[in-house]
Amino acid sequence: MKNIAAKIITVGALTLLPLTYSFAQGTSADGTKVMPAPLLMLDNFFAHHVLIAEKSTHSLHLFKNADGKPEFVRSYQMATGKKPGDKEAEGDFRTPEGVYNFVDFMTNKQLLAQSGPQGAIYGAGAFVTDYPNPVDKINKKTGSGIWLHSTNDETRIDKGLDSRGCVVTANNELIDVSKYLELNKTPMIVVQDLIYLNEKTWETQKGELKKTIDGWLDAWRKKDIESYISYYDQNDFVDSKGKYAAYKAYKKAVFSNPGQPKIDLDNLSILQAKNYAVVTFTQNYQSNTINDTGRKLLYLRQDENYNWKIVSEVWTKNGLENMGKLAFEPSLRFFKEGTREGIEIKKGNN
């Protein structure tokens, strides 16, 4: 059993009290039920499992969905960037903090083919994240190539701060955690400290975001352009259609088409980082001219009045594989037995 003391932090208008959290029991030292703040709502499709990389403890925590709530599975030891703090620029040797998705996987052979002998430093394989995500780009962060990978020198793991910005684990642990990962369906949230909320505060924060999404969807269904666009950040919003003004003009033109669209959301998950939230869902849209299903990600931040506003949205077909599958089953889908054979590894103490 692992116990971690959480720090006092202010989120919006709420001040959170320090808690000692037992992963095995999901309770604080005084018996109060607590929940990990980044995991407000999980689901069986886009967030059946979620990783939280906690930099202060050098721990990679694995949680699974339990009827929408997070349930702790286990922790792995990890190393992160050589420099402490949140990543800001290319080459600063810091690990970015935020909500990320794995978009690709590279085997040891692929890494060696791409990078030559230097590719051996990534060990058994590497999961590629989508850093910089839309919020990172709004914040003008630069850099790329932030991965979750293993290493051919496992003594690095004990150092804690020993990468160029990636999250690094031992080979056996990367292979183990890979059983729970799917590309575009298993987010990794990177935080300095993992904060816990009492259940009432956790439910309140989840409820505020769900209320925002419900209001946004209702305005969209009614084609109420002024109500709909009020859910977007006038200063920072940007997506493939452009910034706020261009997006408003585009949606106004769409709303002028005859008929009412039928819009349904499914597989909803709500995750949050230190200053933004990511809501992911399957979007089914039917109108007189369009009949389509996709995966949508809404990135939201609170304004000066603590109202959630959309700063970016991403629509994609990626992640819709196995839509008819009832339940995720852990398996060695990325690795095969004997994956470590032929990989020279300098062993650490872990």
- Catalytic machinery residues: 149, 166
Is there a cis peptide before residue 132, judged by omega within 30 degrees of 0?
A: yes
Cα-based angle 74, 80, 61 (whole degrees, multiple of 5): 15
Q: How many CA atoms lie within 13 A of 24 on its CB side?
A: 3
**Rounded CA Rg of the chain:** 21
Largest CA distance in the chain: 67
Distance CA(331)–CA(180), nearest Å, equals: 7
Distance CA(298)–CA(282), nearest Å, equals: 12
Distance CA(180)–CA(236), nearest Å, equals: 35
CB contact at 8 A, 5 and 16: no
Distance CA(90)–CA(131), nearest Å, equals: 11
Contacts of 154 (CB under 8 A, 6+ apart): 170, 171, 345, 346, 347, 348, 350
- Give the three-class secondary structure for 12: coil
CB contact at 8 A, 309 and 300: yes
In order of 16, 23, 237, the CA distances from 205 in angstroms are 12, 21, 22
Place of tokens 């054979």: 341
